[in-house]
A and B are shown apart, each in its own frame.
Chain A
Amino acid sequence: MISVLWLIPVLPLAGFLLLALCGARLSRQQIAWVGCGSVGAAAVTTALVATDFFSLFPARESYQQTLWNWIDTSGMTVGISWYLDALSLLMVAVITGIGFLIHLYSAEYMAHDDDYARFFAYMNLFVAAMLTLVLADNLLLLYLGWEGVGLCSYLLIGFWYREPEYGTAAQKAFIVTRIGDTAFAIGLFILFTQFQTLSIQQVQSFAMEAWPVGSNLAMIVAALFLIGAVGKSAQLPLQVWLPDAMAGPTPVSALIHAATMVTAGVYLIARMHHLFELAPMVQEGIAVLGLVTLLLAATSALVQHDIKRVLAYSTMSQIGYMFLALGVGAWSAALFHFLTHSCFKALLFLAAGSVIHSLHHEQNIFKMGGLRRHLPWTFWTFLIGAAAMSGVPLITSGFYSKDWILWSVWSSPLSHRWIWFGALLGALLTGLYSFRLIFRVFFGEVRTQPTGESGLAMRLPLVVLAFLALTVGFLEMPHTLGHVTLFSQYLSHALPTTELLPGMDESSEAREQLAVTVAALLGIGLAALLFLPGSLFGARGTDQSTSHPSVTLLQGGWGFDRLYDRLFVQPWFAVTRNSSDMVDRGYEWLAVCAESCHGWLSHTQTGHVRWYAATIAVGTLMLLGLFAM
């Protein structure tokens, strides 16, 4: 059964083709069946492949499947071939499983949209491209998927293209990620010229033989790959596109800009971990970038008005945690946080979508409130999601993954103590902004009257995801609490185990965990103090007209947009506005020259056949004369 691996990306692609080619002739119900059915079938196929993988490869080695040669020229052979190991199977399971739930949710959420077929066509294409990305055996196929998800992200952010600003947001996302993609492509070129192959496994084994640790080429390639990953995963300094990407429909934000696509950078770094281990400086850079991004995004999330922008900044912050883990060599911890994050972040986005849906597309949290009684399902699931994100101890999955990351940061030889303190501050801020959202939206008085709870197709994914957000964490539990290591055992063949400093025993781990727990609970408590209506400072927070400069700075995501505007956009506009520059003169002269030459030569076009024949004869004679000489 493992040989049906190729079906996993092909099924959503077939769904896309069907919807794109004859979507106009299908009824809405048929469209929903095709759209959800193709991804659901892919999820079932994944389950079949996974059972086979577990029984055939007890040590979790890899399985390869080559369909055909894609490019075959002298010196370069690139195949359409899939590579399945523990890492890619985990990604595939998350993409198809959570993807299916989000498709199911969209079937109801988008029910009144005019472009129902177009929406599902794009979503299916996205799933196909993302599966290509994670299953690719070589870097070129991975790049195909990488660009494919970028394209789908662009198409879906600008899905309601009649609003000009949504189109601008789509272009911004596309252009900013393009910077990273270009760096990634240059990295590919360097690897190919060095090793004459693009197969991921071969490249890495060649690199480990040819390059010593810390060599220049390894550093350059790793840095280029890091820029690519940073662009896709919305980390500093290419993070500016993600908040604007919330212009797309909410299921899109859940699927692309929270659960799957933005974690492609994490996947890339984990996939190429041998390469990054050869470049310790770059790896340290990953950790610092992750830390800075997570703090920056968390502080920005504190002051946003738009419910989806809060979640967008929280996504950046959580991916910052994953980068931090990758940077300190805690590969499995990063992937574990990816797993829990995609469950609770998809849940949060879908629950937020449910709120927005019932409030007639109102996204400002200052116009919400008191929804606890009107939307009980949404409230409880949102509460579970927020609790998981803030890492409420023992019962939520977010606690286990975040604790693992922080414990790795504390005990890894690659890390520093101040990084751990930064990450701890981030945990506190996470609790603060998640529960600010809860208290604002679900408590207090009703400001906008909701239309009532949504239907079954939207509630079912919420319940399933809430269940997962609570239980996924039990796959891996620390020494002090049960000591379950299912997840790290599962990934042990694909990713190296985390190195720990000597002298890290259970008592220091317990102390570290206590600090994390206190930070998370402190954040939630602060949020209750500051934002819960009726509490000590709760009344003050309702005033939304605070225009203190620091608040405005935070709301704009630390002013990166303005900085880039000043640094790149304005100088460029200034250059283009200058109408009398020399370059233009040169091109104008070229145009005038071409015009006069054209006028002169057009006299030879008499329209007389015999004239043409004579000129051909004269030309031939002249050529013959030339050869005779």
Chain B
Amino acid sequence: MEVLFYIAAAVTVLATLRVITHVHAVHALLYLVVALIALSLIFYLLGAQFAAALEIIIYGGAIMVLFIFVVMLLGPLAVEQERTWFSPTAWVGPSILALVLLGEVGYLIASGDHPTMAVAEPTQKAISIALYGPYIIGVELASMLLLPGLIGAYHLGRRLSSEARSC
């Protein structure tokens, strides 16, 4: 188990290093996706299965898709750098790291050995009960945060479209 953890940790650190050093936005994003998937594996190993699933769905999925869309919307600026997009050096690194991660996950499934902790793991039921019990105010605050986020994003995007039409 510890071996799996350390491999995933190494993948995360290396991928993150590439994110902050890479010159190409799309490649950096790919590395970030890899880092996030490795991180979700670490969450799983720490016994937080629900967090691991959310990490992949929301971070690796939704938020990264948002970034991709923005990079595409910024088209004219990205065009100069786009020549290197399909060069092997751009995707070999992330894919190797991703393969290592894939192997890890495959080994985990094959071994059927699930992580055990000394302390009793919190179940998903307990999380939900706590979320809508003592943390209800936090949930309300989070919803209050999301609504301005929605309105702000809509507002910024709307102004953009009208200006783009004018120029």
Contact flag (A, B; Cβ within 8 A)? no
